[in-house]
A and B are shown apart, each in its own frame.
Chain A
Amino acid sequence: DQQVKQNSPSLSVQEGRISILNCDYTNSMFDYFLWYKKYPAEGPTFLISISSIKDKNEDGRFTVFLNKSAKHLSLHIVPSQPGDSAVYFCAAEETSGSRLTFGEGTQLTVNP
């Protein structure tokens, strides 16, 4: 039973346009959500996070939106740059837990 799902294994966008990566979850106890970015031959690096008490968090070109009623979050990157090409993982944590639950990842390719 996968509690965090990223249904799009890949996404391709043009440089300068918006990239939207989506993530759905099933566990209503999740209260903190994170996005990680992973380049080949490197470990995932933390990108941005959001608490369940918020519905939006913005950091430069990156914005994460949380829709608790739909159990859905998304990462917006605008404008997209070729250096953003990587695998993006969505992760979630519940208040009573001690672990991060990850999605399968989405490969983003930004074309020049």
Chain B
Amino acid sequence: ETGVTQTPRHLVMGMTNKKSLKCEQHLGHNAMYWYKQSAKKPLELMFVYNFKEQTENNSVPSRFSPECPNSSHLFLHLHTLQPEDSALYLCASSQWDRSRGLAGLGIEQYFGPGTRLTVT
């Protein structure tokens, strides 16, 4: 496997279900991200992990719970979602440059193919 992989690629879940999205990066990067892309809207940053520590939570509802056990893996745990949460969820990674401080995050992020989530 190369690059950034995400599983599953498609997921249909009811509002009472609990599911998890998985992301794995094979690039040796030290920062990982979750984005949400809804139709006709820009990519919305949800969470940022830098060296396994969450450095940003972009006002995301608690029904989305991220987990980063190591610098290569990132999960997004989902529970009691709403139909408006249906979207494409993208994972990304990048190499944080310490010399740029926090601004080192975000440069040239590498994205996975995404998980198309439908909440019924």
Which residues does A use to contact B, with CB under 8 Å?
A: 2, 4, 9, 32, 34, 36, 41-46, 49, 89, 93-105
Contacts and interface: CB of A to CB of B under 8 A. Distances in A.
Interface string B20-33: 00000000000000
A89 to B, nearest CB: 7
B92 interface: yes
Interface in B28-77: 40-43, 45, 48, 50, 55-56, 58
Nearest to A45: B111
Given A89-B43, A99-B48, A43 B106 contact: no
A42 B113 contact: yes
Given A96-B102, A97-B102, A98-B56, A49 B108 contact: yes
Contact of A98 (B40, B55, B108, B113): B55
B111 A97 contact: no
Contacts of B114: 42-43
Contacts of B90: 43-44
A41 B6 CA distance: 12
A4 B45 contact: no
Contact of B103 (A93, A101, A103): A93
Contacts of A98: 48, 50, 55-56, 102-103, 105-106
Contacts of A101: 42, 45
A96 B42 CA distance: 21
Given A93-B103, A97-B103, A99-B56, A46 B45 contact: no
Contacts of B113: 41-43
B45 A94 contact: no
A93 B107 contact: yes
Interface string B68-92: 0000000000000000000000111
